Amino acid sequence: MQPINSKIVTVILVLILLMVLLYCYINQPYRFSIISAPLSELNEITKTNRSPSSEQKAITPNNRSDPTHIVTHEFHLVAPDHLQYQQPSIVFGRTDVVMVTPWLAPVVWEGTFNPNLLDSIYKLKNIRIAATVFAVGKYTIFLKNFLETAEQHFFVGFQVHVYVFTDRPLDVPQVKMSAGRQLTVRSVPNSQRWQEISARRMELIQKLIEDNLHSYADYIFCLDVDSQFHGRWGTESLGGLVGVIHPGYYRDDRSRFPYERRPESRAYVAPGEGDFYYCGGAFGGTLEEVHLLTKTCHTNFIDDAKEGIEAAWQEESHLNRYMWINKPSKVLSPEYLWQDFKPRNPEVHLVRFSGVIKNYAAIRPNV
Ligand code: UDP
Ligand code: MN
């Protein structure tokens, strides 16, 4: 009898052990959520996060309890099955430029991304892009070229809503826009100082986002009007906070960057600090990120003014200070804002957007 009893005890112990193991396995917190949710449902989750009503509730800027903590869902990238494209490599590619920042944000250069793949991914997300452009005073002369070339190159095939801010609404040209693209004109007062016109953009973009833009757009880009598109500017530029590297300084030592150097200013960047010199003429990202950027830069600009100080390059200086602390999640190479007067450097394979040559004395209200 003795050996049979010990066998039964062993079997019972093994059974208990198996049941404990089974119990632990079943109760892994992530197991059922993944296995029981079919792919279609995962897609639904992504869509639901982005639906205007839920987004509005979650991120209405005025009601934010913690404005410095932004959670986005942009990293869930779903590609259509069976899409054919060139095999990617991690050992072959461009070697003449740096494609990632020290905080691991991509730096976008021609030849580093697949436009068709990216468009396919973002088509599924049904994204909407807002673009702001200011044309105050004589700067309305730049609108026609800006808007016409945007039709040819800026997020072609996507929903785009251009917001033109001007004091001369009657001078906004009629430009034929493709299906899914529209233009809204917003009236703004003129000013006797170009510095003020340029800097006030931050406040007006902040207000635009607060005026319920969440119902109409997912991403926003803020662009100078004295510029034109020459090549694709599309889904490769999307990110949380997107900065564009200024074409004038990217080969220079940081000591030569025209940051605000007076410690009294809120735009101050100390010697030996700063990553890149970013453009004030092009930046963007999600509505939440751009709202925080414009609000911060505007507030700092006003608080500086109260103390009688204006940063060296107005809102561009504040933006550079902001991006030193708040690192952009995507950095666009100078392909995304070149200057027409500047010969193309060899690493710039394609100029996508550039500032046109202008006669400052003829178009600005002051010198
Ligand atoms: N701007 C404007 N009217 C002015 C001055 C500036 O509408 O009288 C706007 C316009 O959108 C312009 C931007 O502010 O593109 C920045 O100014 P600007 O292009 O003259 O600066 P730059 O690119 O030469 O530094
Ligand atoms: Mn400009």
pLDDT at 60 over 50: no
The DSSP result for 160-224, as a single string, is EEEEEEES-GGGSPP----TTEEEEEEE----S-HHHHHHHHHHHHHHHHHTTGGGT-SEEEEE-
The mean per-residue pLDDT over the stretch 38-51 comes to 30
Edge-first strand listing for the sheet containing 353-355: 227-229, 353-355, 338-339
So what's the pLDDT on residue 101?
98
Domain locations in the chain as residue ranges: 107-363
Place of tokens 């004091």: 167
Q: Which residue has the higher pLDDT, 71 or 105?
A: 105
The mean per-residue pLDDT over the stretch 184-213 comes to 95
User: Residue 134: helix, strand or coil by DSSP?
Assistant: strand
So what's the pLDDT on residue 67?
44
The mean per-residue pLDDT over the stretch 185-213 comes to 95
The mean per-residue pLDDT over the stretch 20-24 comes to 65
Ligand 1 pocket (Cβ < 6 Å) reads: 134-137, 139, 194, 197-198, 224-226, 281, 355, 364-365
Residue with the smallest CA separation from ligand 1 atom 12 is 224
Q: Which long-range contacts (CB under 8 A, 24 or more apart) does 322-325 make?
A: 322/293, 322/296, 322/297, 323/241, 323/243, 323/275, 323/278, 324/269, 324/273, 324/274, 324/275
Q: Determine the residue type at 11.
A: V
Of 74, 236, 289, 316, catalytic: 316
pTM higher than 0.75:
yes
pLDDT in tens, 110-155: 999 999 999 999 999 999 999 999 999 999 999 999 999 999 999 9
So what's the pLDDT on residue 13?
84
Fold of 107-363: Spore Coat Polysaccharide Biosynthesis Protein SpsA; Chain A (3.90.550)
In terms of residues, how long is the chain?
367
pLDDT in tens, 242-269: 999 999 999 999 999 999 999 999 999 9
316 is catalytic: yes
pLDDT at 359 over 80: yes
